[in-house]
Amino acid sequence: MFGREGFSPTPAGVGGSVSIHEVLMQVAGHGFRIPIKATLEALPQNPVFANLLARFIQTFASQISYTALCNANYQVDERLARWLLMCHDRVDGDEIALTHDFISLMLAVRRPSVTNALHVLEGRKLVRTERGRITIRDRKGLEEFAGGAYGKPEEEYRRLLGVF
C-alpha cells in the first residue's frame, strides 16, 4: 500500500520497464501518471530523484515483508487495525471509504471475518462503520490495539523519507 509518498510500478525506480503487478486506487484521491520512458530517462539525469525512488522502494519492501510477518503471527482484528492505520496514514481526515469485500481481499480473509473484526474494533470505540465507510475514532487506541503489527515499517518510512 502506498499513497502520496510512493509510486508504482517499483521496477521503474531501478531501471526496469516491466511489472507483474496491477495498480489500483483503493480510495478516492488523485494520482499522477508518468510514461515509463520518461521515468527511465530521468533516473540517470537526476540522481536526487533516483535516490528518492530507491529509498521508497526500500521502505515498500519493508512494508511487504512485515505484512507477511503479520499475516503469520497476528489475528485478523489486529491485522485489520494495522491495515486501517496504514490507510489512515495516507488519507486526509478520519473517514476511509472501503467495503468489507475489498478489505477481505486486502487481508486475504473471508468477508465475515472482516465484519467480526470490525465489530471488535467498534465495540472498543476505535472505529465507527457505516455502509462502505469506516471512521477512525481513536487513532491512539487503534495503534495500541494493533500492537506490534503496526509501527516498524512506518519507522522505516520516517527514517528514509521523513513522512508519517
Domains of the chain with CATH codes: 10-70+153-161 (no CATH), 75-148 (1.10.10.10)
Give the pLDDT band (50/70/90) at residue 6: confident
Is residue 164 predicted with pLDDT exceeding 70? no
**Residue whose C-alpha is closest to residue 27's, from 120, 136, 118:** 136
Share of the chain above pLDDT 70, in %: 99
Cα first-last separation, the chain: 14
Mean pLDDT of 46-74: 93
Ranges 11-15, 101-105, 120-124: which has the least confidence: 11-15
Is residue 24 predicted with pLDDT exceeding 90? no
Mean pLDDT of 38-57: 92
| pTM for the model | 0.88
Looking at per-residue pLDDT, the higher value among 34 and 141 belongs to 141
Instruction: Give the DSSP letter of residue 126.
Output: S
Can you tell me the distance from the alpha carbon of 39 to that of 112, in angstroms, rounded to the nearest whole number? 42
Task: Locate 46 and state its grid cell.
Answer: 537526476
Is residue 28 predicted with pLDDT exceeding 80? no
The answer to whether the beta carbons of residues 20 and 44 sit under 8 Å apart is no
The answer for residues whose C-beta is within 8 angstroms of residue 13's C-beta and 6 or more apart is: 7, 39, 43, 50, 53, 54, 56, 57
- Average pLDDT of the chain, as a whole number: 91
Task: Locate 23 and state its grid cell.
Answer: 495498480
* pLDDT, tens digit, 9 for 90 and up, residues 64-100: 999 999 999 999 999 999 999 999 998 889 999 989 9
User: How many Cβ atoms sit within 10 Å of the Cβ of residue 45?
Assistant: 8
